[in-house]
Structure 1
């Protein structure tokens, strides 16, 4: 299936689409990372992690495949998740357990990476308690960008798990059936990372990282169009859907590198 996807993308993308893309900037200091504190690492019981972003004081946006256990292909208990807002060098601006999690109703985890899977690869997490920290300001969302537009991504990854990195300039290379193909640099752990538009006064989330692929030897990121899928997720929460955790939040500060479990959250499927 990977070869089919790469060949299809190859037809749509001009070879020099990302020649001017910016390199990754590590956001290791308080000054460099302050405006990105609403991006956080989403830890799964110390066994793996994704990236997520706050879009309301109690709502975190991420990828649907982060919610599934890879070997069993079953949903992970939302009580196993902890959102570490602005996680840098062993500390976070806020720590929150997850109360409820909903995934897009048309998302199928056990499926090859196609445009259908990618465009539905979205999840919304309700936190046990809202984050009211004045330094952690939720991001607004916006309609999907057009081909050729410049975007950026803030993400954690396997080789930068202790601080996020910013790629401020990458491009939308193509749009295909609700899927965005972007020249952003992503890796394992970047699943669910917010893709930003910088066209307004403040960065707005226009997509999240669903998968990575390779085109003509170049790594690309695949993401969903937010508009319709996000509306579905908000409606699900308003209707009371999602597994609710009735107990008080657990106090857990286990970091990646301890006992491991093979979960889908550690991988961005190629």
Structure 2
């Protein structure tokens, strides 16, 4: 608790304090095909053993999520790739596409099990290569937004523990503060939302600016912590392409994802 509190203080101090913003919007479950149009490239990442996170397509064969989703919360080891599955546009037991995972890379700066810190959250990114590309109408990969600014209006699409059957869209929340590649967000998240894409609309098109890493509290206010993507995605692409040691995730590990799914830093 004290370490995370220090992180929150660092965030607000580094940005000159929390920004005053307008009211945030509510969560809207994307129950119908019409409601989910434009968001079907967001999906549930099944971790095996009942755990899940949220992930999003950033290329026909690549999905972006949080690095901590790929580790067993009990053993600390990486989860076996054979147990992972991306379910694009998962909605009431159906998906637009099911894909296994061929390879995966975590950000080289990420240290699993490290105490909550700006450094850990800043590098909480992972890129997964699907076993087959998804090339379907309505599943257009998302582009990456420019750097976020304090007070920016953003939105988030996520799955969570009590709303795991369909994704939910919060069209309006805000960047409250930021420092060193980490943003504090007013967006509503819960267990399962780890890896969820945070969007900003640029030229009428939603682009991802951050990935949800954790939930926390600032006083009595519930907030989310996000990893700013910026050039982190290019680091991961290069790591995946180079197949560097630690880049491709080998099929090893005996743990399950029971405790790893959407394991947030706790306030």
Please indicate, yes or no, whether the TM-score normalized by the shorter chain is above 0.5: yes
Partner of 2:249: 243
- Tell me, in whole angstroms, the C-alpha distance in 2 between the residues paired with 1:101 and 1:261: 16
Q: Identify which of 223, 231, 235 aligns with 1:232.
A: 235
CA distance, structure 2, for counterparts of residue 200 and residue 41 of structure 1: 27
2:50 is equivalent to residue 50 of structure 1: no
Q: Which residue of 1 aligns with 2:148?
A: 145
Q: How does 1:39-118 map to 2 (within 5 A)?
A: 39-118=42-121
Distance in 2 (CA, whole Å) between partners of 1:141 and 1:9 is 23
1-structure distance, mates of 2:57, 2:193: 15
2:264 match = 268
Equivalent residue in structure 2 for 1:126, among 125, 129, 148:
129
User: What is the Cα deviation at residue 227 of structure 1?
Assistant: 1.6
Structure 2 CA distance for aligned equivalents of residues 49 and 166 of structure 1? 18
1 CA distance for matches of 2:237 and 2:212? 19
Task: Give the conservation status (yes or no) of the 8 Å contact 1:10–1:215.
Answer: no
**2-structure distance, mates of 1:217, 1:9:** 17
Cα distance between partner residues in 2 of 1:177 and 1:220:
18
Tell me the secondary structure at the aligned position of residue 36 of structure 1. coil
- Corresponding pairs, count: 256
Q: TM-score, normalised by structure 1?
A: 0.90
- 8 Å contact from structure 1 (residues 13, 173) kept in 2: no
The alignment yields a C-alpha RMSD, in angstroms, of: 1.7
Query: Offset at 1:2?
Result: 2.5
C-alpha separation in 2, matches of 1:13 and 1:40: 35
Instruction: Give the 3-state SS of the residue equivalent to 2:56 in structure 1.
Output: strand
Q: Distance in 2 between matches of 1:19 and 1:268?
A: 27
Unaligned runs of 5+ in 2: none
Provide the TM-score with structure 2 as the length reference. 0.91
String of CA shifts for 1:96-116, please: whole Å, max 9, x gaps: 000111000110011111110
* Paired residues of 1:9 and 1:215 also in contact (CA < 8 A): no
Segments ≥4 residues shifted beyond 3 Å: 6-19
Gaps of 5+ in 1: 246-259
**Displacement after TM superposition at 1:18 (Å):** 4.6
Q: What displacement does 1:4 show? A: 2.1
Structure 1 152/9 Cα, relative in aligned 2: closer, same or farther at 3 Å?
same
Once the two structures are superposed, what CA deviation does each residue of 1:199-231 show, in whole Å capped at 9, x if it has no partner?
Answer: 322100011001111112111111112122211
Q: How does 1:107-256 map to 2 (within 5 A)?
A: 107-240=110-243, 241-243=247-249
2:19–2:151 CA contact under 8 A, matched in 1: no
Residues 99-135 of structure 1, C-alpha deviations (whole Å, 9 max, x = no match): 1110001100111111100110000000000011112
